[in-house]
């Protein structure tokens, strides 16, 4: 088993594509990748190091499969686990609920003993009104906008992976 479990949800494939970029950046041999539509909390529980990725859909809502899984993660003991988050959104069309899904996962995990890393992500360079993914002006994880800023994605991923490398023992 690889030492990092990356769990993503997706409606139209963007968050899966980003998952694959992240895995390539970290190294194929150290990351197992899962679609949350097909997992149980036990799959999550197996990993000491976790990456969770979600788009925001509806009006500031979590992706459907994440909506199903997240409440069930109550059964997972996050003691000793390190978790990093990434979220996708569309800042032009949904500037009042930009990457809210990222914030929804964050606020669920912050109640657990998990060590949350990969936050403090600067909101400079994004143009939006409001986001549940912000704490003290910074995002709680990596934020990507494939609808408007796809050209920035690879550099953002490279920078973020460098940020979490030490926390993930890489
Ligand atoms: C119906 C619909 C609703 C959306 N709602 C939001 C939203 O509330 N906030 C946001 O930041 N992005 C929103 N988006 C943008 C998606 O998060 C974005 O397109 C994302 O890349 C989709 O990822 P996926 O292909 O993995 O499903 C919405 C997109 C669609 C199609």
Atom of ligand 1 nearest to the CA of 91: 11
CATH number at residue 52: 3.40.50.360
For range 8-19, the mean pLDDT: 98
How many Cα atoms sit within 13 Å of 86 on the Cβ side?
A: 32
Ligand 1 pocket (Cβ < 6 Å) reads 10-15, 55-60, 88-90, 94, 97-100, 146-147
Domain, as residue range, for 92: 4-165
Tens digits of residue pLDDT in 108-137: 999 999 999 999 999 999 999 999 999 999
| Mean of the per-residue pLDDT values of the chain | 97
Under a CB-based contact definition with an 8 Å cutoff, are residues 6 and 25 in contact?
Answer: no
For range 76-92, the mean pLDDT: 98
Instruction: Give me the pLDDT at residue 72, please.
Output: 97
Query: Quick check: is 110 in a domain?
Result: yes
Residue 50 alpha carbon to ligand 1 centre in Å: 23
Query: Quick check: is 12 in a domain?
Result: yes
Instruction: Give me the pLDDT at residue 2, please.
Output: 62
Query: Quick check: is 129 in a domain?
Result: yes
Please state the domain count of the chain.
1
Query: Quick check: is 98 in a domain?
Result: yes
Give the pairing of strands 61-62 and 49-57.
antiparallel
E strand or H helix that includes residue 56: strand 49-57
Percentage, residues of the chain above pLDDT 90: 98
How many C-beta neighbours within 10 Å does residue 111 have? Answer: 9
Cβ neighbourhood burial of 134 (10 Å; 0-12, 13-18, 19+): buried
Beta bridge pairs of residue 134: 139
Under a CB-based contact definition with an 8 Å cutoff, are residues 4 and 31 in contact?
Answer: yes
Residue 71 alpha carbon to ligand 1 centre in Å: 21
Query: Quick check: is 61 in a domain?
Result: yes
Residue 1 alpha carbon to ligand 1 centre in Å: 32
Residue 169 alpha carbon to ligand 1 centre in Å: 32
Residue 102 φ/ψ, nearest 5 degrees: -60, -45
Res. 1 pLDDT band, cuts 50 70 90: low
Give the pairing of strands 82-88 and 49-57.
parallel
Query: Quick check: is 87 in a domain?
Result: yes
Residue to mutate, 11, 33, 55, ligand 1, most ligand atoms under 8 Å from C-beta:
55
Query: Quick check: is 170 in a domain?
Result: no
pTM: 0.98
Tens digits of residue pLDDT in 31-76: 999 999 999 999 999 999 999 999 999 999 999 999 999 999 999 9
Query: Quick check: is 111 in a domain?
Result: yes
Helix (H, G, I), strand (E, B) or coil at 151: helix
């Amino acid at each position: 088993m690889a030492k990092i479990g990356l769990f993503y949800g997706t409606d139209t494939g963007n968050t899966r594509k980003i998952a694959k970029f992240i895995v390539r950046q970290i190294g194929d041999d150290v990351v197992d990748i899962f679609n949350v539509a097909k997992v149980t909390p036990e799959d999550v529980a197996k990993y000491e190091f976790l990456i969770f990725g979600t788009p925001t859909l509806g009006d500031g809502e979590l992706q459907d499969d994440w909506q199903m899984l997240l409440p069930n993660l109550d059964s997972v003991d996050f003691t000793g686990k390190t978790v990093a988050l990434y979220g996708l959104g569309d800042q032009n069309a949904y500037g009042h609920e930009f990457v809210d899904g990222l914030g929804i996962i964050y606020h669920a995990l912050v109640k657990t003993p998990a060590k949350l890393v990969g936050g403090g992500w600067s909101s400079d360079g994004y143009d939006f009104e409001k986001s549940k993914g912000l704490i003290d002006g910074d995002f709680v994880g990596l934020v990507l906008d494939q609808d408007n800023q796809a050209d920035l994605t690879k550099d953002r991923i490279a920078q973020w992976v460098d940020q979490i490398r030490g926390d993930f023992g890489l």
